Copies of this chain bind each other. A is one copy, B any other.
Amino acid sequence: MTTAWPSHSFKTPCERCPLRANPSFREFNSEELDFVSKFKKGELTVDPGATILVEGAHSAHLFTVLSGWGFRYKALEDGRRQILNYVMPGDLVGLQGTIAGEMQHSVEALSPVSLCVFERDKLMTLYNKHASLAFDITWIAAQEERILDEHLLSIGRRTALERAAYLIAFLFERGKALKLFNSHASIPITQQHVADTLGLSIVHTNKTLKKLANRNLIRWQERTCEVLDGDGLMAAAGWEGPGKKVRPFI
């Protein structure tokens, strides 16, 4: 009962960063820790449904997700929306704004999300002074690329049922690695999010999810998806799961 960190705290010191407690993240040495502490400008907390970044914006900031769930998406002019990926603790958000000048996608919160805020201007200093952290940022970008590759394979070549199973298994595995679940594994998404991720209509998504529920793989309750059988989902998707590896974060 002691370690629930206060929601009103402005700045969690990096030395006591809650992400560090998770062994799936790599350790910092003291020098790195020192730099990141100075690199961090503050914290930001947003409500479910809030937009963290919008397509076209020139943000001066870069974020790391401390807690909560969100998603990245793009939309066509007529409103058709595609969810590209989900953002979860440890993920770096807004790097594209640094590279392309402006954001090419939007980011929205699914649950309450808290983020570390970094100043974009200092990024070059990071590259100049801390090669290991620079490498970590490349690592994170390449990892995101790898995930997008898998999503592309899924949307392009899997059936609706396989796609749905893959998506939920993917989110389940990520959440598990981040220790986001207690006894119940609940993913805070609506069926509309699933539809917009899989490139399906909401009606067909509903019918597809029903099939997964009938197989006792998932249960849909109170605007969340509860995973009953992660291995069953992976089997239904024909997906091996992500490799287990220690990952960096900033």
Give chain A's interface residues, CB within 8 Å of chain B. 72, 74, 76-78, 80-82, 84, 95-96, 98-101, 104-105, 124, 127-128, 131-132, 134-135, 137-139, 141-146, 148-153, 155-158, 196-199, 238, 243, 245
6 closest Cβ pairs, A-B complex: A156-B199, A141-B141, A127-B131, A148-B148, A82-B156, A80-B157
Tell me the dominant secondary structure on chain A's binding face. Answer: helix
Tally of this chain's copies: 2
- Specify which of B95, B151, B196, B198 is in contact with A142 (CB 8 Å cutoff): B95
Chain B nearest CB from A73 CB (Å) reads: 9
Is A146 a contact partner of B104 (Cβ separation < 8 A)? Answer: yes
In whole angstroms, how far apart are the Cα atoms of A84 and B245 in the complex? Answer: 24
Which residues of B have CB within 8 Å of A81?
157
A100 with B134, Cβ < 8 A, contacts A152-B82, A155-B152, A155-B156 known: no
Within the complex, what minimum Cβ distance (angstroms) separates A59 from chain B? 14
